[in-house]
Amino acid sequence: MRIRTAEAWTRQVATLLTAAWLLLAPLTLPTASPVSAADTASPTPAALTLDDNLKRVFAGGAPSGVADLRAMQSHVQKLTEQLGKCTVGVTVGNAQGSGVIISKDGYVLTAAHVAGKPKQDVTFTLNDGREVNGKTLGLNKSWDAGLMKIEDAGEYTFAEMGASDALKEGQWCLATGHPGGYQEDRGVVVRLGRVILLPSNDTKAITSDCTLVGGDSGGPLFDMEGRVIGINSRIAGELRANMHVPVSTFKETWERLNKGEAWGHYPGQEPVLGVRGEEGSTNAKVAHVFPKSPAAKGGLQIGDVILKLDGQAIDSFQSLKDQVALRNPDQEITLSVQRGEQTMEIKVTLGKRGE
């Protein structure tokens, strides 16, 4: 008897399931039960429960045979029918993207770079082709997280917000979107894959192999019970290594987003000074100045202690980083620096990360 490896089963599962969305027929969902915009504890129409065996497989375990593959395919088909109801096309000015409705009264999660800025008009295209109007709210640019709200009266089918901090590498996930804009004859586009990497200090993103293309930005990444665990943000160097905003970021900054605040910098656009602090120091003492950095060009030296930035007191290296983060690339700043017994002012033009 021929024995198949777990990798072989995974390839067969992907082959069977990736195109499953093409075969789906429309499904009428029950009306959502009332919840507040930030309340995600109650089950929603977009969620489907898993039996213990499917939970094991979708958590990263190998399917044990053809019966498991068929059960996986059936589950994905049912789940996709429902998830399409809360995945929306988003048009802001001339820009198009995607989003996901996460409350009965029409709050929509998207990517910050899709929303652009607060208080802009938005046209949302629902799964049945209807268009409704809304506004952009807050933006956390550092994480590429954006919030919007449908303003037309109505009750909207929505998805539950999951827990991205409970994810595990290797678990199955499903991304939806409207690449190229909403198309009635195509409907929502679905990509099945796995979580490859969890968020880190470097990427701040969930990385999956759910292949994304232009227009998928702002669309949702779901776990296999239909809960939103991330928002499509950007395509990495390889087409199959794609990044998603963790949904926990939206929960942690909900009040600021809902108030319409905008803060931070898009990934790769962060301002850079170009120094490293002395480990264990109780002040902002410079331990290293990176060659050709803004700090080097401005004349900062190893051993300098930075006392102020634009008149704002700096009492630690972390407070220096926090103050730099509030500025923009190419912005000139004034540093008050103690060098030995001498105190001086140094002007530095901030750079941009990656340059």
How far is Cα 162 from Cα 223, in angstroms, rounded to an integer?
8
For 298-348, the pLDDT digits (tens) are: 999 999 999 999 999 999 999 999 899 888 899 999 999 999 999 999 999
Residue 237 has pLDDT above 80, yes or no: no
Is residue 144 annotated as part of the catalytic site, yes or no? yes
CB count within 10 Å of CB 121 equals 12
* 34-38, 92-96, 230-234, 246-250, range with the lowest pLDDT: 34-38
Residues 67 and 165 in one domain: yes
Give the model's confidence band at 240: pLDDT under 50 very low, under 70 low, under 90 confident, else very high: low
Catalytic residue from among 75, 113, 178, 244:
113
Q: Rounded to the nearest 10 degrees, how much is the dihedral formed by the CA atoms of 249, 253, 257, 259?
A: 170
Indicate if 182 and 208 belong to the same structural domain.
Answer: yes
How far is 101 from 86, CA to CA, in rounded Å?
5
Of 68, 75, 142, 144, which is the active-site residue? 144
pLDDT digits (tens, 9 = 90+) for 28-50: 323 333 333 334 333 355 567 78
Q: Which range marks the domain in which residue 63 is found?
A: 6-86+158-263
Task: Quickly count: other Cβ atoms within 10 Å of residue 129's Cβ.
Answer: 11
Query: Which candidate, 231, 267, 292, 248, places its Cα nearest to that of 90?
Result: 231
Residues 208, 347, single domain; the answer is no
* pLDDT score recorded for residue 8: 40
Active site residue 75: no
Tally of domains within the chain: 2
| Same-domain check for residues 308 and 215 | no
- CA 240/CA 279 separation, integer angstroms: 38
237 shares its domain with 279:
no
Catalytic residue among 217, 248, 293, 336: 217
**What confidence tens digit (pLDDT) does each residue in 248-278 have?**
999 999 999 999 999 988 877 889 999 999 8
**Domain at 201, CATH number:** 2.40.10.10
Same domain, 51 and 170: yes
What is this structure's pTM?
0.75
Confirm whether 217 is a catalytic residue: yes
| Same domain for 285 and 256 | no
What's the confidence (pLDDT) of residue 61?
Answer: 86
Answer yes or no: are the C-beta atoms of 219 and 100 closer than 8 Å. Answer: yes
Reading the block at residue 12, the tokens are: 């067969």
Chain mean pLDDT for the chain: 84
Question: Does residue 255 sit in the same domain as residue 282?
Answer: no
CATH number at residue 312: 2.30.42.10
Say if residue 125's pLDDT is above 90: yes
* Claim to verify: residue 333 and residue 255 sit in the same structural domain: no
Which of 263, 279, 300 is a domain's end point? 263
Which residue, 231, 247, 263, sits at the end of a domain? 263
Strand partners, 335: 309, 346
For range 173-191, the mean pLDDT:
90
Domain boundary among 263, 287, 317: 263
